[in-house]
Amino acid sequence: MNAQTRFEQYIEHLAAGLGHADRHAGLNAYCTGLMLPLTRKSVEPMAASMDPLHASARHQALHHFVAKADWPDDELLRRVCQWVVPRMDFSDGGFWIVDDTGFPKKGRHSVGVARQYCGVLGKQDNCQVAVSVSLACEQASIPVAWQLHVPQDWAEDDERRARAGIPAHIGFETRPQIALRQIETLLAAGAPRHCVLADAGYGIDNALRQHLDDLSLAYVVGITSALVVWPPGVEPLPPKRYAGMGRPPVVPRRTPSRQPVNVKELAHSLPASAFTTLSWREGSNETLSGRFAAVRVRHAGGNTGKARLRPGQWLLIEWPADDVDPLKYYLSNLPADTALAQLVAYAHMRWRIERDYQDLKQELGLGHYEGRGWRGFHHHAALAIAAYGFLLSERLATGAALSAKKNFAARQTPGVPEDYIARGRPPRATPHA
């Protein structure tokens, strides 16, 4: 069976969840366009490349399919997983990787656009941000949940909501809250309880870590150097004795000799013998290795609710030998007998989702959608993930490198007529004096 036949079977499998037989053609055409070697993968260039003699009609059909047609993007992602996950090897364990990605934007009309932190730019700027959860193993990963983050000014503006088509049940949530809801939805659907991985943007959120504990999920999450912990061998005093009036005291007591410290201070107090050099995987040019230490601590910053006195956890410190300060910190609720090498390997498994976003954006046009509405934004992302899922399943079957251009050579770009002019572009350069 060749790649073209497998692709047709894949599209048939996905189309069964779109709710209408007429959407089969749109799904096929859109995924095909995303896998073409085009510089820009918005609707118009894809339509012109696939059907240059009827570009306008094809453009209208693709635009209706992605921006107007009412089909469930979450069901499409579920069917992508049904196809890809059986081809993944979870014999060495699985992971849920939480992350977000930004799309720099101009103006203020694209759904969810606001001045906020954009990881792509590494600073605060005008952008859209989507939160995702990926299912990963040692050999591959695939996004299984995806949602745009709606800033508070958007959530509270009924006019903008209506214009962008934001569903009524979508309100303001922080990014960690969105990620938790996505994980809960996956677990309710029967997903396995894999270890959760996240960067410091999520790991610093005490409520997220507490909720993962409540769900009996293991985690290894990044934290910042300011997080306060009780160091090894130092325990707070129990709460004051109940005097019989009011609420019983529950907050652990501190004394001048019993004080928590931030993780940066704790790292500097460790002897050099506490650090070990370990490698975690083969990189493209060399083996990736670093200098690590792991100690058992208790989080001391959450004196409300169930976080009054947290159980012992692993604090993993990554500190290159030539650096003045540690590079990264991680907090994990993995068992106390977990080996240092395993902690390091889990902490660095997040590179998978970074590779996902790199391929989705560079090869499959994840960030090329030019519409402004909620439905089109999520439909385009789900279709890009669907195209990615097929290429990933082909790579898992053949062991080849993931590339839209190399793995699906049957999809060649048709020739565009010399006199073809894209909509909204001048037929010739503007004359200059």
Same domain for 268 and 330? yes
Same domain for 266 and 332? yes
> What CA–CA distance (Å, rounded) separates 289 from 182?
33
One-letter-per-residue 3-state SS of 75-122: HHHHHHHHHHHHHCCCCCCCEEEEEEEEEECCCCCCCCCEEEEECCCC
223 and 192 Cβ atoms separated by less than 8 Å: no
On whether residue 23 sits in a domain, the answer given is yes
Helix axes 351-362, 374-398, angle to 10 degrees: 110
Question: Which residue in 35, 10, 28 sits closest to 408, CA to CA?
Answer: 35
Residue 4 sits at φ, ψ, to 5 deg, of: -65, -45
319 and 275 Cβ atoms separated by less than 8 Å: yes
| Cβ neighbours, 10 Å, residue 109 | 12
* Residue bearing tokens 């709460």: 239
On whether residue 426 sits in a domain, the answer given is no
Same domain for 306 and 392? no
Tell me how far apart the 2 most distant CA atoms of the chain are, in Å: 91
Q: Which helix (H) or strand (E) holds 6?
A: helix 3-15
Interior CA angle at 128 toward 123 and 134, to 5°?
Answer: 95
116-137 burial: b if 16+ Cβ within 10 Å, else e: bebbeeeeeebbbbbbbbbbbb
Length of the chain: 433
| Cβ neighbours, 10 Å, residue 333 | 21
Same domain for 281 and 408? no
The domain total for the chain is 2
> What CA–CA distance (Å, rounded) separates 395 from 398?
5
On whether residue 432 sits in a domain, the answer given is no
Interior CA angle at 309 toward 304 and 314, to 5°?
Answer: 120
Q: Which pLDDT tens digits describe the chain residue by residue (433 residues)?
A: 788 999 999 999 999 999 888 899 999 999 999 999 999 999 999 999 888 888 899 999 999 999 999 999 999 999 999 999 999 999 989 999 999 999 999 888 999 999 998 888 888 999 999 999 999 999 899 999 999 999 999 999 999 999 999 999 999 999 999 999 999 999 999 999 999 999 999 999 999 999 999 999 999 999 999 999 988 988 777 777 777 777 777 777 777 878 889 999 999 999 999 999 999 887 777 888 999 999 999 988 754 444 466 788 999 999 998 899 999 999 999 999 999 999 999 999 999 899 899 999 999 999 999 999 999 999 999 999 999 999 999 999 887 655 444 444 444 445 555 555 555 444 444 444 4
Which structural domain, as residue segments, surrounds residue 217?
Answer: 208-237+256-348
Question: Is 373 in a helix, a strand, or coil?
Answer: coil
On whether residue 313 sits in a domain, the answer given is yes
> What CA–CA distance (Å, rounded) separates 263 from 299?
10
For 328, the token pair is 């990264």
On whether residue 25 sits in a domain, the answer given is yes
On whether residue 243 sits in a domain, the answer given is no
Tell me 247's DSSP state.
Answer: S
On whether residue 148 sits in a domain, the answer given is no
> What CA–CA distance (Å, rounded) separates 42 from 371?
9
Residue 287 sits at φ, ψ, to 5 deg, of: -70, 130
Name the β-bridge partners of 146. Answer: 132
Same domain for 381 and 305? no
pLDDT of residue 431: 45
Same domain for 18 and 56? yes
Same domain for 65 and 20? yes
Same domain for 316 and 411? no
pLDDT of residue 420: 55
> What CA–CA distance (Å, rounded) separates 63 from 414?
20
Last residue of a domain, one of 348, 364, 394: 348
Same domain for 322 and 394? no
For 360, the token pair is 């989705």
Same domain for 277 and 405? no
Q: What share of the chain is helix, strand, coil (3-state, %, to 5)?
A: 40, 20, 40
For 75, the token pair is 């069901």
| Cβ neighbours, 10 Å, residue 210 | 16
Same domain for 229 and 332? yes
> What CA–CA distance (Å, rounded) separates 34 from 366?
9
Residue 415 has, within 13 A of its CA and on its CB side, a CA count of 3
Question: Is 316 in a helix, a strand, or coil?
Answer: strand
Same domain for 287 and 400? no
What is the residue-wise DSSP string for 176-219?
Answer: HHHHHHHHHHHHHTT---PEEEE-HHHHT-HHHHHHHHHTT--E
On whether residue 147 sits in a domain, the answer given is no
Question: Which residue in 247, 233, 342, 354 sits closest to 294, CA to CA?
Answer: 342
